[in-house]
């Protein structure tokens, strides 16, 4: 299927690893120009070189997205170098996972800073620019913890729930201006963050990390964890004109681990 993405400028936060990196690779395969954002300059440069050794279609930008001024400066720099951003994929930022008995008040604030505001600080300036131009698509990669409480991920789940509401609300507000906003909720995915969640589950339930990982696999009807490529495939479709009448949707990608009617 031709997704009609040729020539689009895509900004991907958290684009130097995991799901964000998988999205960057797939957008490149569709003929897009890609800007990736990360906090680690070394990892960002390595990802840029891996994606585009000739340096023609990928640009890398470092930014602290929990700071609104830093996020705005990054957006302006990305558009100055690559032209107006047509598609935003938010995959940066994650709240630390801890057993509920270890939580302290600052963990809840840190979760909002590290997940909610890293998304909002990029969305706010970009959706206004997209709305002024009359077109644009935003896909926020959120997480199942915002829909179904996970006791090792309560502050992060709260930030995720707030992001889902913000995504749906912005879709309603900016739909008349030609901008679509959707959110994806992946379950456990084979990325570097998986180990943190497994370790938290092991501490909370007083089991080994090996047992915690085995338990995670057993809970999946499809018999495997999601891959970053699984998530990227959905991101590309929702970003494309093929999904032109899908906006304000919250899509769960969990292999039927938590089937629900919504």
pLDDT, tens only, 36-72: 999 999 999 999 999 998 888 999 999 999 999 999 9
Question: Quick one: pLDDT at residue 34?
Answer: 98
Q: What is the mean pLDDT of the chain?
A: 89
Ranges under pLDDT 50 in the chain:
none
The model's pTM: 0.89
Q: Which residues contact 173 (CB under 8 A, 6 or more apart)?
A: none
- DSSP single-letter state for residue 111: H
Q: What distances in angstroms separate CA 100 from CA 3, 36, 133, 159, one per listed residue? A: 43, 34, 45, 16
Question: Quick one: pLDDT at residue 153?
Answer: 81
Query: Do the domain assignments include residue 261?
Result: no
Query: Do the domain assignments include residue 255?
Result: no
pLDDT, tens only, 150-176: 888 899 899 999 999 999 999 999 999
Query: Do the domain assignments include residue 256?
Result: no
Question: Quick one: pLDDT at residue 187?
Answer: 78
Question: Quick one: pLDDT at residue 211?
Answer: 66
Query: Do the domain assignments include residue 164?
Result: yes
Query: Do the domain assignments include residue 200?
Result: yes
CA–CA gap between residue 94 and residue 97 (Å, rounded): 9
Total domains in the chain come to 1
**Residue whose C-alpha is closest to residue 191's, from 237, 152, 143:** 143
Question: In which domain, by residue range, is 168 found?
Answer: 9-249
Instruction: Identify the CATH number of the domain in which residue 31 sits.
Output: 3.40.50.720
Query: Do the domain assignments include residue 258?
Result: no
Query: Do the domain assignments include residue 3?
Result: no
Query: Do the domain assignments include residue 134?
Result: yes
Question: Quick one: pLDDT at residue 139?
Answer: 98
């Amino acid at each position: 299927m031709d997704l009609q993405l040729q020539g689009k400028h895509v900004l991907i936060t958290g684009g130097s690893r995991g799901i964000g990196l998988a999205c960057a690779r797939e957008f490149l395969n569709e003929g897009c120009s890609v800007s990736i954002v990360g906090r680690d300059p070394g990892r960002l440069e390595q990802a840029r070189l891996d994606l585009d050794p000739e340096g023609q279609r990928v640009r890398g930008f470092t930014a602290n997205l929990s700071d609104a001024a830093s996020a705005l400066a990054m957006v302006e720099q990305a558009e100055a170098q690559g032209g107006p951003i047509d598609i935003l994929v938010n995959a940066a930022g994650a709240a630390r996972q801890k057993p509920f008995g270890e939580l302290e008040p600052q963990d809840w604030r840190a979760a909002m800073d590290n997940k909610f505001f890293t998304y909002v600080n990029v969305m706010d300036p970009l959706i206004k620019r997209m709305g002024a131009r009359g077109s644009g698509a935003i896909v926020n990669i959120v997480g199942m913890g915002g829909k179904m409480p996970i006791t090792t991920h309560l502050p992060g789940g709260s930030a995720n729930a707030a992001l889902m509401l913000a995504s749906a609300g912005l879709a309603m507000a900016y739909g008349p201006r030609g901008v679509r906003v959707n959110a994806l909720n992946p379950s456990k995915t084979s990325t570097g963050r998986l180990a943190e969640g497994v370790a938290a589950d092991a501490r909370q339930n007083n089991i080994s990390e090996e047992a915690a990982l085995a338990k995670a696999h057993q809970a999946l009807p499809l018999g495997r964890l999601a891959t970053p490529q699984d998530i990227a495939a959905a991101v590309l479709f929702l970003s494309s004109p093929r999904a032109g009448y899908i906006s304000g949707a919250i899509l769960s990608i969990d292999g039927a681990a938590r089937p629900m009617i919504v």
